[in-house]
Every structure is written in C-alpha cells, then in structure tokens.
C-alpha cells in the first residue's frame, strides 16, 4: 500500500467533482423551496423561478415597438384574452406602439368623473376590486384569510406610522383587464414619496391567501398626502405593490421635482397641492394598491365599500 502525504492511500478522501456538488446543492434547495413555500403547488413552484430577472425580461419585451401591421392582430388578441374594454381607450388600438403602451393607456376624457366632494371624502385611486378592508389596530392590517402584516414595515421609510393607528386600510387589486393608472384619492398636499426594493411574488388570490407578509416582502412605492379642504383631518398613503412581471411601480414625475425615486429610500415633497383625479402613478402591468387612511380624524372616517369592484373616482368613504 502506498502513501500520500504520510497517509495510506486507502485513507485518502475522494471528493466528488464540483459540478456534482453544485447539482446536489441545487436539488436540495429546490426540495426545500417546494416543501416550505406555503400554498398550492403552482405558487410553490414560483419559488424556483427567477422572478426579478423574469420580470425584467417581460418588461423589456413589453416595451418593444411592434410593426404597425402587427398591432391590431396581436394587441387585439391580447385584449380579447383578458377582457380589456377597448371602447374606453383614449386611442384606437393601432395607435399603441407596444404592449406596455396598451397597458398604461389613458381613458377617453370624462369616463371616470370624481364623485362630488363631501367632508372626509376619499375616492378610489384605481379601477379594481377591493379584496380587503378594515381598521388598523396595534399597527396591524389584514392581508387576506386572517394573515396580518405590519404597517410600520409596509411604510418602511416612514418614521411616523403611528398617525395611521385607528385608521383604515383598503386593498385594491388590479387585474390585467383593468385601467392601470393610479390617481389622487382626495384633496390635499403631497408630503413624501418612497420606494422599497423587495421581492416580486405574484399578488393574486393564491398569494394573498397563503404567503405571510406578502405586501411587506414585495417591491413597492408609496405616495403620502395630508388632507386639506374636504380632506382636512386626514392623511392618506397610497402604496403601489409590485408583483411578478410587474416590476415597474411608477410615481408620476410631478411629485418627484426632477429627482429620481430612490431604489430603496424616501424624500419629502414640498406640500404640493393635489386634487382628486390628478395623476399619482402607473403600474407597468397589473398589481395592487394598499390605501391607508389615517390622521387626527381617522376614527371619524368610515369606509362605504368593504369589497367588490370599484371604478376610479367612486367614493370609498367619508366622515360619518
């Protein structure tokens, strides 16, 4: 028996090739993700999908300019698949140069009038479906099926979240068929904007009902305003939550003052006046808005809608 470095050959350890080690580690990681991600198998499988890279690729593809002869057949098929109401779109289908342009379309003027102002009125910032609504108690809101999340973490860059205690949260989900622009919900002055870099899990019924703290985990941007006039005594925060293939959560340039929204941070806004229906932001594809209503008179504010479909400009609540 020979020796190597003073040890018999029979005692030498034989290490597997690096590629085999990498494969074993990858398989172990895949098994871990599939076993420990909650929810149905389709959701667990998404744990293996490179969601940020996939979202960047889809976003890139969606912005590519389509040849003019392709627009009506391709975009028309997409609109038909998801039930997009093209009769409401500002322009004819052939005038949208890309899928992203169709998604971020404006509506024909006058289609979404704001409901008349009353004391404490807060209108819907989007077309969508209210999937959760309730009081904020002990800094907690409910995602779905009793799953809690923390307002302090949702508004990670806001040091004064206690002003939303006793207020109200409403979660509005936008499906692919919906109008994807977000609008100002009440009369006021804009005080801050922020962005949190996070994951990009899907935001749908399967995810909201199974993934704990989903809104805390995902990428999001926040727009905050102090109420004036009819909104005096209130403060609202509109949280634009990203999702898989919805990496773009865009705050309208008007509120940024020529600055770029930080990748993960916040800055104050010089109390710029805002009115119901003004542009607030845009989703590049669909996702969710969490609307928080707080401020000194939050306890006097009552939600008039607790669920169901809603159109931008319809009243969500007011002072009782």
**Interval 92-115: pLDDT, tens:** 999 999 999 999 999 999 999 999
Asked if 93 and 80 count as a contact pair (C-beta separation under 8 A), the reply is no
Q: What is the arithmetic mean of pLDDT over 278-296?
A: 92
Task: Please report which confidence band the pLDDT of residue 12 belongs to, taking 50, 70 and 90 as the band edges.
Answer: low
Higher-confidence residue: 80 or 146? 80
CA distance 195 to 181: 18
pLDDT at residue number 108: 96
Mean pLDDT value of segment 190-202 = 92
Query: If you count DSSP H runs as helices and E runs as strands, how many of each does the chain have, helices first?
Result: 8, 18
Task: Looking at mean pLDDT, say which of 26-35, 98-107, 208-217, 240-249 comes out highest.
Answer: 98-107
Mean pLDDT of the chain: 88
Average pLDDT over residues 34-40: 60
> Are 178 and 126 within 8 A, CB to CB?
yes
**Do 188 and 228 touch, CB atoms closer than 8 A?**
yes
The angle subtended at Cα 21 by Cα 18 and Cα 27, nearest 5°, is: 140
The pLDDT, as a whole number, for residue 50 is 78
Q: List, by residue number, the catalytic residues.
A: 127, 183, 287
Tell me how far apart the alpha carbons of residues 34 and 42 are, in angstroms, rounded to a whole number. 10
The pLDDT value recorded for residue 44 is 64
Q: Is 6 exposed, middle or buried (0-12, 13-18, 19+ CB in 10 A)?
A: exposed
Stronger pLDDT, 158 or 207, i.e. the higher one: 158
When mean pLDDT is compared over 50-54, 202-206, 276-280, the highest value belongs to 276-280
pLDDT of residue 176: 87
Nearest to 154 by CA among 303, 164, 144: 164
- 135 falls in which pLDDT band (50, 70, 90)? very high
Task: State the Cα–Cα distance between residues 40 and 178, nearest whole angstrom.
Answer: 26
Q: Which of 273, 127, 124, 231 is nearest to 185 (CA)?
A: 124
Q: Which two tokens stand for residue 127?
A: 């077309």
pLDDT of 28 above 70: no
């Amino acid at each position: 028996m020979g020796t190597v470095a003073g040890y018999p050959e029979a005692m030498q350890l034989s290490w597997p090739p690096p590629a085999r080690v990498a494969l074993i580690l990858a398989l172990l990681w895949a098994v871990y993700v599939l076993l420990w991600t909650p929810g149905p198998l389709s959701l667990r499988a998404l744990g293996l999908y490179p969601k940020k890279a996939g979202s960047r690729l889809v976003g890139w593809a969606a912005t590519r300019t389509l040849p003019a002869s392709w627009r009506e057949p391709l975009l028309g098929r997409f609109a038909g698949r998801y039930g997009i109401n093209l009769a409401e779109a500002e322009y004819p289908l052939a005038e949208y140069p890309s899928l992203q342009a169709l998604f971020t379309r404006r509506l024909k003027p006058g289609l979404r009038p704001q409901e008349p102002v009353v004391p404490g009125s807060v209108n819907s910032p989007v077309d969508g479906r209210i999937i959760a609504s309730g009081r904020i108690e002990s800094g907690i809101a409910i995602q779905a099926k009793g799953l809690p999340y923390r307002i302090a973490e949702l508004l990670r860059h806001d040091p004064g979240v206690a002003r939303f205690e006793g207020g109200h949260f409403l979660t509005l989900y936008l499906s692919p068929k919906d109008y994807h622009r977000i609008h100002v919900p009440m009369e006021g002055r804009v005080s801050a904007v922020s962005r949190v870099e996070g994951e990009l899990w899907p935001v749908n019924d399967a995810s909201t009902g199974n993934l704990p703290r989903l809104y805390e985990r995902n990428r999001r941007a926040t727009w905050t305003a102090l109420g004036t006039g009819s909104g005096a005594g209130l403060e609202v925060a509109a949280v634009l939550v990203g999702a898989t293939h919805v990496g773009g959560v865009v705050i309208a340039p008007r509120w940024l003052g020529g600055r770029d929204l930080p990748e993960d941070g916040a800055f104050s806004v010089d109390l710029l006046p805002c009115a119901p229906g003004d542009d607030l932001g845009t989703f590049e594809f669909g996702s969710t808005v969490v609307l928080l209503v707080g401020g000194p008179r939050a306890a006097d504010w009552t939600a008039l809608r607790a669920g169901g479909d809603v159109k931008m400009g319809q009243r969500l609540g007011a002072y009782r």
